[in-house]
Amino acid sequence: MTNTTVEPDEASRLRNKVVDELCADGNISSPEIEAVMRKVPRHEFTPADTPLDKAYDTYAAVITKADEHGVQLSSVSAPQIQAMMLEQAQVKPGMRVLEIGSGGLNAAYLAELVGEDGEVVTVDIDPEVTDRARRLLNEHGYGQVHVVAVDAAEPIPDLGEVDVVMVTAGAWDIAPAWTAQLKPGGRLVVPLRMRGLTRSVSFTQVEGEHGPYLESESAKICGFVPMQGLNAHREELLLVNGTPEIGLKFDDGLPADPHRLDNAVTFPRHELWTGVTVRIQELIDTLQMAMAISLPGFCTMAVDENSDTGLVDPVNKRFALAAVEDDTFAYLVTRRTEDNKHLEYGVHALGPHAEQFADKIAGVLRDWEANRRGGPSPVIRVYPASTPDDQIPADRVIDKVHSRISLSWPSA
């Protein structure tokens, strides 16, 4: 479907190199997705001043729009993320697909996958983004893709039912319109934020005893520009002791009495090493989820480097897994082991009950090591917000505006 304009040999070489890497690391497993990612000229959908090596960085996004403060508003997702989500979506010839969060490139991939008998509708809340997507799709032979400027939190006019809804912006909640427009048994792929952790989740609709709900088939770590419009949601920031030095970020509301933490930093920092080690390149997605499920006060911590006095000492000052319990807070740290091939997890805690809370978090890590490490991710289910507790099987339920998110570990 692409036009026949001559493109640089270097672009072709880099594009094939990216696809080779994605096939080798398992992000691409189907020949159809391999073919479309080799065919569509990714660099033509990035800003004109983007160097080819940046356009074809396998694991990095290209920002296409930011606000006056540098906050990212729109981007061309990294090839790795696009391949991963396309594999999750399982798009077949003849399908009807709704893409929420436009940019042009992913819609071109989808148009190739559905073929002449299928249909792709791509929407975005920002007319500047849809105008750019429309122009690029037309220029590269994808004029059949429908491009609409609309807030996808509301039903898309005249859309009808689709086989796949693919969301390419970070979502905190599942809009009822998305499932209402999905065919029975259809698939929703969405970067869903749960307790501050984002996973690209592939859901299918299931008809339960009390009505339909969504159930995950896969969930993979990812990062996305956050959704705008009616479905926008911001984390709440708690500045410990009222200073900008230590910020605790809560995704589902602050603790009931956040002022109980006011004196936590006046206590000596308690440090505990857990004996739990991981390989340096090992994925820890299930460890993150274990903390999010097991600790009611789970949050993330960031330290303002300009105000840093050393009260806390996380390895990553922008993002550390943390938790709060009443008047005490704690966060995870790591250190290299003697063989220099592994990292050991530790807990730093501050507050009147630092030792007890550190022991509790260490217990969560040791339970993960014994029972969850290397195993499947939790099953994620999405129910309507009105669903009563007794109809939701869960180790943890997260209440959103439109939905209740259930997280359950699979049976051993």
- Residue 147: φ, ψ to 5°: -115, 125
Show the DSSP H helices in 273-342 as ranges. Answer: 285-294
In this structure, is the dihedral angle defined by the CA atoms of residues 6, 9, 10 and 15, taken in order, positive or negative?
Answer: positive
Q: Which residues pair with 218 in a beta bridge?
A: 202
| C-alpha neighbours within 13 Å on the C-beta side of residue 366 | 12
- Residue 393: φ, ψ to 5°: -75, 125
Token pair for residue 357? 């809370």
C-beta neighbour count of 327 within 10 angstroms: 20
Residue bearing tokens 């690209």: 200
How many angstroms separate the CA atoms of 181 and 16, rounded? 36
Residue bearing tokens 């390895």: 315
The answer to whether 227 touches 170, Cβ cutoff 8 Å, is: yes
C-beta neighbour count of 94 within 10 angstroms: 12
* Selected catalytic residue, list 29, 74, 75, 77: 77
The answer to whether 404 touches 387, Cβ cutoff 8 Å, is: yes
Residue 158 CB contacts under 8 Å (≥ 6 apart), including other chains:
none
Token pair for residue 161? 């039912």
The answer to whether 199 touches 192, Cβ cutoff 8 Å, is: yes
Show the DSSP H helices in 189-309 as ranges. Answer: 285-294
Residue bearing tokens 């704690």: 330
Helix (H, G, I), strand (E, B) or coil at 141: coil
Q: Considering only CA atoms, which of 69, 64, 284, 100 is closest in space to residue 191? A: 100
Strands 62-66 and 119-124: unpaired
Is 77 known to be catalytic?
yes
DSSP 225: P
Q: Where are the beta strands (DSSP E) in 294-378?
A: 298-303, 320-325, 328-336, 342-350
Q: Mind telling me the catalytic residues?
A: 77
